[in-house]
Structure 1
Amino acid sequence: MTEPMDKQPPVFAVRKLWKVFGPRAGRVPDTPELAALSPADLRARTGCTGAVQDVSFDVRRGEVFVVMGLSGSGKSTLVRCLTRLIEPTSGSIAIDGEDVLSMDKARLRELRRHRAAMVFQHFGLLPHRSVIDNVAYGLEIQGVGRAQRRARAAEVVAKVGLDGLEHRRPGQLSGGQQQRVGLARALAVDPEVLLFDEPFSALDPLIRRDMQDEVVRLHREEGRTMVFITHDLNEALRLGDRIALMRDGRIVQLGTPEEIVGSPADEYVRDFVRDVPREQVMTVRTAMRPVADAAEAESGPAVAPDATVASAIEAVARAGAPARVMDQGRCVGVVDQAALLAVVAGLSAEGVAA
């Protein structure tokens, strides 16, 4: 039996990570007085910028871990630190328990080529090569033979929906198709973790939605661990199992989409999620109450605990009765219209009952 994600050892374990740019950067995390300064005060006093400041988190195996924040929040610097594309100033990073900061050049190459593949906003495709040869490029660097790497590339090209385009050049593709090539190239090396650095932000909205669907589909089919960087809250809520919301180099809240929308940590997060349709994010667990009697446990429509409040409102309205919350064939609670609407309004079910 497979352990739940939160019970397995983390893929990435990050502790007290700092990345400071500027003169004598190492003194900032080592000096409590400097470490506590605001970004503006730190720059004025030392000439340094704390791009990532005292950040700690785990990435669980098989989850989509989203890091989001506005421009300048430190999210892209953070993801580049994970594989030392940017060298951290201090702290620790481990992948499967192995210390990333102590890796030599050969071990780092192995990490980037085999274990943690990056998908960037700018695709970086080789314009003179066909789609299939672009996809096979990482395997070519690894020394895989031509026949084997092209066979693997053909599999991945089909997986990302580029059948029939194998022999086109990047210049003959749309932006969305080019991004699919970039995704296929990362998948071809079969990495343990996919690292996405705002990969869809330059795409048109409809193409962006298609690519989000592609990530959701690939994750559902493969269960691959993903770290996804974005400045778009809707994208974060749609893709993330958990979200780390950054501001000024620090994580201000880390939680599930439901936790972030339902229980914002501070005014900054509250402002961020103010316009989110709560009924599309909050689940039935938030609104359900205990079963009053045996009859209540046997009547009414059935909904799952992780169903959205929106879908439960529809079920209750259609039946004209409270819904049973069913988990593995067992009734674990009941939701009614008042409790569901209270969640939409941002109130607790207890508050409405009172």
Structure 2
Amino acid sequence: MSQAPGITVKGRAEIGGARLFAPLTLELAPGAWTCLLGGSGVGKSTILRLVAGLETEAAFTGDISASDGGPVAPRVGYMAQDDLLLPWASVAQNIALGPRLRGDPTERDRLAGLMARVGLNEHAQKRPYALSGGQRQRVALARTLMEDKPVILLDEPFSALDARTRAEMQDLAVELLAGRTVLVVTHDPGEAARLGHSVQVMTPEGLTEVTPPKAAIPRGVDAQETLACQADLMRHLMALAA
């Protein structure tokens, strides 16, 4: 993996001539986790897709740049809310999907190492239907890591999991994505309070930064500072809905 750059998203977006979000500047610090919250329809997932170089329904006016001046989209790995596993493929085949689609040889040692790190060695030949929700998300995380990109975009990746499994997956993601520039879109104030080096609340009018705890991530789910930040974020979100 190449060194993780900082990413800057600067601009505005419209859909059908109507404003999606006003001019904003979102700074992703290199090697850090940025959490982006906000109500539905304010453009959070649109920002992820713009950074990834994917098509959106929005017309974006602005610029997306890396701190080292290099290209952005080719250095991005993307993990969606749904695991998007191929039902007919094994765990190992799903993790190695990227190289297979590109016609590249699969790095067998690396594949085996990733499956071991996410605890899937015993499930390598299983199909997705035979896995639990947490196991499926581990496959999706390993598939993202198989691409070995320095910038990782996570679109509510753990929202469908129960509370315990979600916390376990958050811990695992922090461990495995160390050193990468990570942007997480989430509706969960608790998740942002645990994971964010930077926490931003997005509205159609722009961004509001909420100061996260000083403790290293992942922060304790029951730590006083985590709970205080979670409550602060909830107040911000409730004020938006009022």
Please say whether Structure 1 and Structure 2 have the same fold, judged by a TM-score greater than 0.5: yes
Alignment CA distance shift 1:281-1:205 (3 Å): closer
Residue identity opposite 1:72 in structure 2 = G
Of 158, 161, 166 in structure 1, the residue corresponding to residue 124 of structure 2 is: 166
How far apart are the structure 2 equivalents of 1:153 and 1:126?
17
How far the C-alpha of 1:70 sits from its partner, in A, is: 2.3
Match of 1:18, SS state, is strand
Question: What are the equivalent positions in structure 2 for 1:1-16 lying under 5 Å apart?
Answer: 10-15=5-10
Matched, 1:64 2:41: no
How far apart are the structure 1 equivalents of 2:43 and 2:113?
36
Question: What are the equivalent positions in structure 2 for 1:1-354 lying under 5 Å apart?
Answer: 10-15=5-10, 17-22=11-16, 25=17, 48=18, 50-85=19-54, 86=56, 88-95=59-66, 96-98=68-70, 111=74, 115-146=75-106, 148=107, 150-219=108-177, 222-248=178-204, 250-251=206-207, 253-258=208-213, 279-281=224-226
More contact order relative to length (CA 8 Å, sep ≥ 6): 2
Percent identity over paired residues: 38
Say which one has the larger Rg: 1
Alignment CA distance shift 1:142-1:199 (3 Å): same
User: RMSD over aligned Cα, in angstroms?
Assistant: 2.6
How far apart are the structure 2 equivalents of 1:83 and 1:162?
28
Residue identity opposite 2:202 in structure 1 = M
Q: CA offsets per residue over residues 242-298 of structure 1, 9 Å max, x none?
A: 1111123621x2254149xxxxxxxxxxxxxxxx98932499xxxxxxxxxxxxxxx
Match of 1:164, SS state, is helix
Q: CA offsets per residue over residues 81-135 of structure 1, 9 Å max, x none?
A: 11232265201101342466xxxxxxx5xx1xxx111101111111111000100
Structure 1, unmatched stretches of 5+, are 1-7, 26-47, 101-107, 260-275, 284-354
Contact 1:240–1:256 (CA<8 Å) still a contact in 2? no
Contact 1:18–1:91 (CA<8 Å) still a contact in 2? yes
Question: In proportion to residue count, which structure has more helix?
Answer: 1
How far apart are the structure 1 equivalents of 2:125 and 2:110?
15
Structure 2, unmatched stretches of 5+, are 215-220, 229-242
How far the C-alpha of 1:234 sits from its partner, in A, is: 0.7
How far the C-alpha of 1:187 sits from its partner, in A, is: 0.2
Contact 2:4–2:151 (CA<8 Å) still a contact in 1? no
Alignment CA distance shift 1:171-1:248 (3 Å): same
TM-score if structure 2 supplies the norm length?
0.81
